[in-house]
A and B are shown apart, each in its own frame.
Chain A
Amino acid sequence: MAVGKSQSLFKEKPIKILLAKPGIDGHDRGMFVLAKAFRDAGMDVLYAGLLPTPEEVIDTAVSEDVDVIALSLLNGAHLTVFKKISDLLKKRKIDDIALVGGGTIPDSDKPKLEKMGISGNYGPGTPLSTIIDHVTKRASEARLRKLGGR
């Protein structure tokens, strides 16, 4: 996705992103770093708080009309917990919100998460710029679907 195109796409309304730690996991350092980085990159950033249920995450995402939900877990439960979010999104037939993930996710789990529609899945040490670029790309896709659907 060309930068110019995505920029014009978000000129009226910047990328809106919901950060969520949907499992039983208090490791929020990375989330707070990302929150600041996304905000510095011009995005509109929301945080779902600690221990939200999958339903709460999706409800907030829908009512706030976000482009992207960014999921983070560092407790090893990503395969089970991320799946709940992705299943719920599908069940509610929501296709204009992108899912991205991150945390301590072994390489071998990444294809499984991709299959659920959860991309990125970055681990520790990933440059912020890589994450921001990826979120921008996924947000553009989501935004185009939102616009196309209206």
Chain B
Amino acid sequence: MSSQPESFWAKKIEFIQSRRPSSGPGQEEWRKETLQPWLNQTGAKLAEKENSSGIKIKEIFSEEDLGGDLDERLGYPGSYPFTRGVYPNMYLGRPWTMRMFSGFGTPEDTNRRLKYLIRHGETGLSIAFDMPTLYGFDCNNSRAEGEVGKCGVNVTTLKDMEVIFKGIDLSKISTSMTINAPAAVLTAMYVAVGKKNGYEERTLAGTVQADILKEYIAQKEWMYPPEAHLRIIRDMMTYCTRKMPRWNYISISGYHIREAGSSAVQELAFTLADGFYYIDMGLKNGLSADEFAPRLSFFFNSSINFFEEIAKMRAARRIWATVLKEKYGATKSRTMLMRFHTQTSGYTLTWQQPLNNIIRTTIEAMAAVLGGTQSLHTNSYDEAWALPSDEAVKVALRTQQIIAEETGIPDTIDPLGGSYYLEWLTDKMEEEAYRYFDQIERLGGILEAIKKGYLQKEIAATSYRRQTRLESGEETMVGVNKYVEKGEQPINILRISKKAQSNQIARLNQVLSSRDSKKVDKCLADLERAMENDEENLMPFFIRAVESYCTLQEISDVGRKVFGGWKEPVIV
């Protein structure tokens, strides 16, 4: 399929291809004069390698693989196009933020875990919510039975948020909340908790994920049709742009796309395509790119193919800066620079021989640091089994501290910059990402591509291919399809007590009997009217509703009534 010549993406592809050198006499000579005779003489073989993105990796890279002006496409740290990093001093000012994703059981359990991590040197909070919370169901809903507190902390009313953050100074630490469909409601709760504790909303620092596009692509946690969620995100964008200068209202996430089975290039391309959609949305609603793009942040996966991950992160920064400048007319550096959080890969963790996971996580964390991440979560070795134990999560945090303070890896900025292989791979991933942007545009844009199931099918195909390669032994997972041990001993894992649910229901009942039910009814009625009027910004209505102790599901149900639900396209 040839590209439409007029598209922005096609022009970028052409440009990248134009700087590729046509021949490499040095490498050819080496192959002919040195490599081949040696292979002939020794009878040795040359293995063929490819990475998760299906990119064939040559046996050697040299200057001949880097055409064009390398300095121009690298820039220096803190300068366009930010390939080498977003800040001029990177980790020499301070290391990345060590932000461990935590949350389980009751708000009390999570409050204890957060304080435990702060005590051990964590520098930013990151909250995981349980499935009922992520889907907007209350803890006493029959569907929530057995699920409360299992995958994260349960939040049914503002009361729960008050407990989670009890005794934590919200003016000193920033909080990231992994919440999407109900993100605006949780932001409202955070504002309300802040207010109760004497922090004004403009001082609150943090991030909500709120990237609903990747929910339809990968994580599958939604309540309403895409258009309804996008409208709520729009409201949060415009509200927070004006009132909460330290609140990052969307964390555009590739993490889940990757965990759902995509390759590194697919993660890169689909995530940035989502990002461009949010830029278009802001522009359409009267914000300028320079006004709101600096508030968008990203979230990537760091998986096990070391150089591929580093190349992906460097390519991501370069593409974002280039497109913001050339396509969206951004003028300020701050608008073009892509800041991102990274989490090591959950999928690469094995159930078998779990201590090996410490090593995998270490390598992935190193890739994230060499890729220039702003914050990092390291997975715990027991997470293929369950949420992590205190002991396992401490090892994971210590892994980051060792990389930061013992290894010398962060002693100079972008130490791998200029590596022939890495720069070639960065260029290649960039080109492949532009091909996907072009394809997505042909399908009518990202929303159409999602509705057609195109992205979902691409991911499922990659994931199936990977599984078949594991089955055939073309790819190795140590302890799973090679070096397998029989009769492994189970490790101690964290179990969430059934009490989590009964405690939550007891607290909810207390809230229900002590709240002003007239006020609750009025807030919900007002919210319904506001939802019916697309001109209205919903944020103040959410804040009033949570402050009146409306439950998460009461608020979500108003949306279900007004907007309806969503059935995903069939892809199997």
Given contacts A53-B143, A75-B147, contact A25 B460 (CB under 8 A): no
B151–A75 contact, CB under 8 A?
yes
Please measure, in the bound complex, the distance between the C-alpha atom of A129 and the C-alpha atom of B87, giving whole angstroms: 50
B259–A29 contact, CB under 8 A?
yes
Identify the stretch in B59-67, B290-298, B329-337, B463-471 within 8 Å (CB) of chain A at 4 or more residues: B463-471
User: Could you say which of B384, B460, B463 contacts A124, with CB atoms under 8 Å apart?
Assistant: B384
Identify the stretch in B183-191, B362-370, B563-571 within 8 Å (CB) of chain A at 4 or more residues: B563-571
B144 sits at the interface (CB 8 A): yes
Residues of A in contact with B (beta carbons under 8 Å apart): 19, 23-26, 28-29, 31-33, 35-37, 45, 47, 49-51, 53, 75-77, 79-81, 104, 106-108, 123-125, 127-129
User: Could you say which of A26, A37, A75 contacts B220, with CB atoms under 8 Å apart?
Assistant: A26
The 0/1 profile, CB within 8 Å of A marked 1, for residues 367-390 of chain B is: 000000000000000001111000
Which chain A residue lies CB-closest to B221? A26
B220–A32 contact, CB under 8 A?
no
B351 sits at the interface (CB 8 A): yes
Most buried by B among A29, A76, A108, A125: A76
A33–B151 contact, CB under 8 A?
no
Given contacts A51-B135, A104-B386, contact A32 B460 (CB under 8 A): yes
Residues 537-572 of B contacting A (Cβ, < 8 Å): 567-568, 570-572
A-B contact pairs, 19 of them (CB 8 A): A19-B572, A23-B147, A24-B131, A24-B135, A25-B131, A33-B463, A35-B572, A37-B464, A50-B568, A75-B151, A76-B147, A76-B150, A77-B150, A81-B147, A104-B351, A104-B386, A106-B493, A108-B490, A124-B351
In the complex, chain B residues whose CB is within 8 Å of the CB of A128: 467, 471
A106–B147 contact, CB under 8 A?
no
In the complex, chain A residues whose CB is within 8 Å of the CB of B278: none
Given contacts A35-B572, A76-B150, A124-B350, contact A24 B261 (CB under 8 A): no
A27 smallest CB distance to B (angstroms)? 8
Which chain A residue lies CB-closest to B477? A125
Please measure, in the bound complex, the distance between the C-alpha atom of A28 and the C-alpha atom of B134, giving whole angstroms: 16
B322 sits at the interface (CB 8 A): no
The number of residues on chain B lying at the interface, defined by a beta carbon within 8 Å of a beta carbon of chain A, is 44
In the complex, chain A residues whose CB is within 8 Å of the CB of B151: 75-76
Most buried by A among B463, B567, B572: B572
User: Could you say which of B352, B464, B493 contacts A125, with CB atoms under 8 Å apart?
Assistant: B352
B219 sits at the interface (CB 8 A): yes
Closest 10 CB pairs of A and B: A80-B146, A26-B220, A76-B150, A24-B131, A77-B146, A35-B572, A125-B480, A32-B460, A77-B147, A47-B572
Most buried by B among A29, A31, A75, A128: A29
Given contacts A24-B132, A24-B137, contact A81 B385 (CB under 8 A): no
B113 smallest CB distance to A (angstroms)? 16
B384–A33 contact, CB under 8 A?
no
Please measure, in the bound complex, the distance between the C-alpha atom of A61 and the C-alpha atom of B467, giving whole angstroms: 27
In the complex, chain B residues whose CB is within 8 Å of the CB of A108: 490
In the complex, chain A residues whose CB is within 8 Å of the CB of B100: none
B114 sits at the interface (CB 8 A): no
B373 smallest CB distance to A (angstroms)? 24
Which chain A residue lies CB-closest to B147? A77
In the complex, chain B residues whose CB is within 8 Å of the CB of A124: 350-351, 384
B109 smallest CB distance to A (angstroms)? 14
User: Could you say which of B144, B385, B568, B572 contacts A45, with CB atoms under 8 Å apart?
Assistant: B572
Residues 388-406 of B contacting A (Cβ, < 8 Å): none
B150–A75 contact, CB under 8 A?
yes
Please measure, in the bound complex, the distance between the C-alpha atom of A123 and the C-alpha atom of B145, giving whole angstroms: 23
User: Could you say which of B145, B463, B493, B567 contacts A29, with CB atoms under 8 Å apart?
Assistant: B463
Please measure, in the bound complex, the distance between the C-alpha atom of A26 and the C-alpha atom of B132, giving whole angstroms: 12
Given contacts A107-B490, A128-B471, contact A76 B386 (CB under 8 A): yes
A76 smallest CB distance to B (angstroms)? 4
Which chain A residue lies CB-closest to B349? A124
B384–A32 contact, CB under 8 A?
no
B125 sits at the interface (CB 8 A): no
B240 sits at the interface (CB 8 A): no
B496 sits at the interface (CB 8 A): yes
Please measure, in the bound complex, the distance between the C-alpha atom of A32 and the C-alpha atom of B458, giving whole angstroms: 12
Please measure, in the bound complex, the distance between the C-alpha atom of A129 and the C-alpha atom of B421, giving whole angstroms: 38
Which chain A residue lies CB-closest to B567? A49
Can you add 15 more A-B contacts, CB < 8 Å, to A47-B570, A77-B146, A123-B384?
A24-B132, A25-B131, A26-B220, A28-B220, A28-B260, A29-B261, A29-B347, A32-B460, A32-B571, A51-B135, A51-B143, A76-B386, A76-B496, A104-B385, A128-B467
Please measure, in the bound complex, the distance between the C-alpha atom of A49 and the C-alpha atom of B477, giving whole angstroms: 30
Please measure, in the bound complex, the distance between the C-alpha atom of A124 and the C-alpha atom of B467, giving whole angstroms: 11
The 0/1 profile, CB within 8 Å of A marked 1, for residues 210-228 of chain B is: 0000010001110000000
Which chain B residue lies CB-closest to A78? B146
User: Could you say which of A28, A36, A81 contacts B464, with CB atoms under 8 Å apart?
Assistant: A36
B350–A24 contact, CB under 8 A?
no
B141 smallest CB distance to A (angstroms)? 9
Please measure, in the bound complex, the distance between the C-alpha atom of A31 and the C-alpha atom of B429, giving whole angstroms: 29
